Structure 1
Amino acid sequence: MALRPLGYLLIGLVWLAIWLIAVLLLVGSVPALAYGDSDSLVEGVGDRLSNPVEAVVFLVILVPIVAAAVGAGGWYVITASWPLAVLSFTYVVRALNPAYAGEKLSFTARGAWGSTIGPPTLSGVALSLQPVRATRFTDGVMRFYVAGWSFDGRMIVAMLPAGLAWATAIGALAPSVSEVLHVVFGALTVLLLGASWTLGVRAFRASASTAGAGNEDRVATMSAGQRAQRMKELKKQREDRLRNE
């Protein structure tokens, strides 16, 4: 069907656009805030820290919220979007391949209620664009797909330093601060990003290991038995089609 590759292409472009917007906002906001009105930014932070009550509110409430929103929020938006774009473009190629003619390319499953990101629904979040015919490549992409759509406390904690690094990176670039603070903020940014990288890799590996062990609370994906059964069905459909020809 001629519309099938076009449909997957459009879906892939939408998810690619979401990913690009998220990356541009996350990265581009740092120099925009640092150079846009750095004097007011630095003075505002200084004024809040000079007041004991505001300093407590700023450090205990606002900073963790920013770290969670930028770090964990950025991770989930980015990781939830690019696998769907890659899978969509994979199905475009498959839709143009005669070997996949007449067979379903993707399916939708529903994640266990409360186990996935997205708006709450009574029946769970619909997790679309999962591959019917799995390969080593799609299995690798699906690991990130699962990580991007699953609630994982370890990953949220792992991304908190990256959220703080976003704030220290602004301080490292802001022309209003001293050279000493530039160095201090720059070093903190590198250390915080390194901490998130290390913790994030550990959390991702632990999550992938748990999902591979068949934890039913994870995002719903096709099991090995279901894949084998599906491949048998596809093979039978292909044989019947060739026989009819």
Structure 2
Amino acid sequence: MYLASVVAPSVGARVGRVFGYLGLVVLWAAILAVGIFATVLALPGALGAAGPEGLGDSQLFRHSDTWLAVFVLPLLALIFGTISVFIVTASLGALLAAATLFVRSLNPAYAGEQLSLSILTKDGEAVGPVSTAFTGVALSLIPVRLTRWTKIIVMIQFNAWLINSTLLLIGFLWGCTYLFTVGWMLWPVTGAGVIVCAVLSALPLVGVVWVVWRRRARFAEVVPTGAENSVYLNSWPQRTG
């Protein structure tokens, strides 16, 4: 099953795309590594370096200002969590796509066909600066030949880049888990409180798993306008035949 008409590439294009996809694998692997560092390790590293006394005794938390946390932390969890989920899933989707396309570029069975395409989003449906509401965002590294594996990859890409409620909900739950966990570990909590806090940290993660499972059918329905009339919506898992 193909997302577009198959165009036979020239010999030069077949050779060049091997190195092109390999370069993209390296690039997106580096971006994913930087993204994980920035969204997971940077904050506790910065807070831990602020001083040896722990967050509970630091100047960051003054008793007169603690009431602000009731309003600030949920908003911060939503913003930080959503950005984190976007960075990691978008990078992961691109890395998996580039790796798959690189392997296909080496496979003689794919020598006579175009391997990937780009889809232009419209009307601000994708993540990007304000200008993209008018110019759109080009989603690249979309495999032309759809299999179950590449459909999963494309679903990861679409759900990362296209604004949807599932991404926001998962981002909020992850943000709650992350900020709470970093907080109690650097406070630091000791004794029996560690067990209690560890259990509380796990609850939003359970929520993430529950959301992913309960909304699994919706992931395949998130599709840019440019692909609505393609075979994408008529392939697995919408159609199991």
Q: Write the deviation string for residues 165-187 of structure 1: whole angstroms up to 9, x where unpaired.
A: 11221234236433243333222
Alpha carbons 2:121, 2:224 under 8 Å: kept: no
1:201-212 paired onto structure 2 within 5 Å: 201-203=213-215, 205-211=216-222
Q: Is residue 148 of structure 1 aligned with residue 160 of structure 2?
A: yes
Identify the residue that residue 8 of structure 2 maps to in structure 1.
none
Question: What is the SS of the residue equivalent to 2:119?
Answer: strand
Question: What is the SS of the residue equivalent to 2:85?
Answer: helix
Identify the residue that residue 5 of structure 2 maps to in structure 1.
none
Question: What is the SS of the residue equivalent to 2:135?
Answer: coil
Q: Write the deviation string for residues 40-62 of structure 1: whole angstroms up to 9, x where unpaired.
A: 522347843x21xx33332202x
How many residue pairs align between the two structures? 219
Identify the residue that residue 8 of structure 1 maps to in structure 2.
21
Q: Aligned partner of 1:81: which letter?
A: S
Q: Aligned partner of 2:71: which letter?
A: V
Structure showing greater Rg: 1
Identify the residue that residue 97 of structure 2 maps to in structure 1.
87
Kindly report the root-mean-square deviation, in angstroms, between the aligned alpha carbons of the 2 structures.
2.9
Q: Give runs of ≥4 in structure 1 deviating > 6 Å.
A: 225-228
Residues 76, 45 of structure 1: CA spacing in aligned structure 2 closer, same or farther, 3 A cutoff?
A: farther
Identify the residue that residue 166 of structure 1 maps to in structure 2.
178
Alpha carbons 2:77, 2:172 under 8 Å: kept: yes
Residues 222, 60 of structure 1: CA spacing in aligned structure 2 closer, same or farther, 3 A cutoff?
A: same
Residues 45, 175 of structure 1: CA spacing in aligned structure 2 closer, same or farther, 3 A cutoff?
A: same
Residues 111, 176 of structure 1: CA spacing in aligned structure 2 closer, same or farther, 3 A cutoff?
A: same
Question: What is the SS of the residue equivalent to 2:142?
Answer: strand
Q: Aligned partner of 2:148: which letter?
A: R
Normalization by structure 2: what TM-score?
Answer: 0.77
Q: Is residue 196 of structure 1 aligned with residue 208 of structure 2?
A: yes
Question: What is the SS of the residue equivalent to 2:189?
Answer: coil
Q: Write the deviation string for residues 72-108 of structure 1: whole angstroms up to 9, x where unpaired.
A: 1111111111111111122212222223224321111
Q: Aligned partner of 2:55: which letter?
A: L
Residues 96, 128 of structure 1: CA spacing in aligned structure 2 closer, same or farther, 3 A cutoff?
A: same
Q: Write the deviation string for residues 150-173 of structure 1: whole angstroms up to 9, x where unpaired.
A: 111233123312212112212342
Normalization by structure 1: what TM-score?
Answer: 0.76
Alpha carbons 2:116, 2:143 under 8 Å: kept: yes
Identify the residue that residue 224 of structure 1 maps to in structure 2.
231
Which of the residues 30, 33, 37 maps onto 1:24? 37
Q: Take 1:165 and 1:38, find their aligned partners in 2: how far apart are those partners?
A: 24
Alpha carbons 1:39, 1:176 under 8 Å: kept: no
Which of the residues 54, 57, 70 maps onto 2:68? 57
Using the aligned pairs only, state the percent identity: 27
What displacement does 1:7 show?
0.7
1:32-71 paired onto structure 2 within 5 Å: 32=45, 35-36=48-49, 37=51, 39=53, 41-44=55-58, 47-48=61-62, 50-51=63-64, 54-61=65-72, 63-71=73-81
More helix by share: 1
Q: Take 1:56 and 1:44, find their aligned partners in 2: how far apart are those partners?
A: 17
Identify the residue that residue 149 of structure 2 maps to in structure 1.
137
Residues 38, 168 of structure 1: CA spacing in aligned structure 2 closer, same or farther, 3 A cutoff?
A: farther
What displacement does 1:133 show?
1.5
Bigger mean CA deviation after superposition, 104-113 or 180-189: 180-189
> Bigger relative contact order, structure 1 or 2, given CA contacts below 8 A and separation 6+?
2
Question: What is the SS of the residue equivalent to 1:177?
Answer: coil
Residues 88, 187 of structure 1: CA spacing in aligned structure 2 closer, same or farther, 3 A cutoff?
A: same
